[in-house]
Structure 1
């Protein structure tokens, strides 16, 4: 009886290993899964870069910064940035403060490759340096909506997320 149990156990182990190996091989060679992972990584890289860009400005070159903001955006966000461009320029020049943003952490929370839409959350650190003043740091969290355009993924929305006061 012990030999039969050993043979059965061996047969089950071989069957399980064969099934596991085949499933792993399929995962590694699944072009749909690979394509989705590449697109997710592209959304993460692009969204991270664009969130940082929309939080950065050199007050001595506001037109260049505002152009980069528009280039990183699409749809309603781009329309709003375009519409408020003159007012934003005046505020930037009046404040005489430069901002350099870095995304400390980000994650894609949803991605629909078929419709070309994605959501991203990001933790951002912004270094604010007023002319002749001391640099301060702000930390913000954002949710960003992205849309795939003919020129790549662009931000269609950018919303500040409240930080809980725990």
Structure 2
């Protein structure tokens, strides 16, 4: 087919199209197309790199979250143990000369039925302690978590108690094991039950 565009000197230019004997039409050749799906090796590498970075970011986020969860659980276990130890110390260290403050310390770490029961018995207990001029000092031994379930833990504490009163100034020390139920509350953790175990 001829192109009718004029040449620079004004003469029309003719374009010759050769007919091939086999009837095939020449297709343009793209030297950069060496894959079947049209993607170059550079593009494939770029996509693979983006996928790899996204996967690494996902794994990093997941591992970071797991580490955070583990840290929070350890902090809660430490809190339960610390509150259990403090409550055992408060319960076994009562001095008749400051008994009101000592009883208040026990109530400060108590909640639930333990708080209710101890508060009801506080006045008669104070009266007996003051009349007998009783003094007890608890020395904490080993302590550990027996179990943790959600927001509650069972804490075992070994305590040696040295007691004295007006009638018996020096008594032999007594070794106790206490099981304290500690539960999470809004402002930390408190003891909801106390029992002595053999």
Taking structure 2 as the reference length, the TM-score comes to 0.63
Q: Which residue is equivalent to 1:126?
A: 161
Q: Distance in 2 between matches of 1:85 and 1:41?
A: 29
| 1:135 Cα deviation from its structure 2 partner | 4.9
1:136 aligned counterpart, secondary structure: coil
Is the Cα–Cα contact under 8 Å of residues 54 and 72 in structure 1 kept in the other structure?
no
| 1:62 Cα deviation from its structure 2 partner | 1.6
Q: Deviations for 1:2-56, whole angstroms, at most 9, x for unmatched residues?
A: xxxxxxxxxxxxxxxxxxxxxxxx59x6221121112111111121111111111
Are 1:30 and 2:70 matched, yes or no?
A: no
Q: Distance in 1 between matches of 2:74 and 2:118?
A: 31
Q: Which residue is equivalent to 1:97?
A: 134
Q: Whose strand proportion is higher, 1 or 2?
A: 1
Q: Which residue is equivalent to 2:173?
A: 137
Unaligned runs of 5+ in 2: 1-62
| 1:136 Cα deviation from its structure 2 partner | 3.1
Higher relative contact order (CA 8 A, sep 6+): 1
Taking structure 1 as the reference length, the TM-score comes to 0.74
Q: Which residue is equivalent to 2:197?
A: 161
Q: Deviations for 1:68-114, whole angstroms, at most 9, x for unmatched residues?
A: 1111111000101111111111111122121111220111112234x
Is the Cα–Cα contact under 8 Å of residues 47 and 153 in structure 1 kept in the other structure?
no
- Choose 1 or 2 for highest CA Rg: 2
Unaligned runs of 5+ in 1: 1-25
Q: Whose helix proportion is higher, 1 or 2?
A: 1
Q: Distance in 2 between matches of 1:68 and 1:143?
A: 19
Is the Cα–Cα contact under 8 Å of residues 84 and 182 in structure 2 kept in the other structure?
yes
**Equivalent residue pairs, number:** 136
**Which segments of structure 1 move beyond 6 Å, counting only runs of 4 or more?**
none
Q: Distance in 1 between matches of 2:106 and 2:79?
A: 19
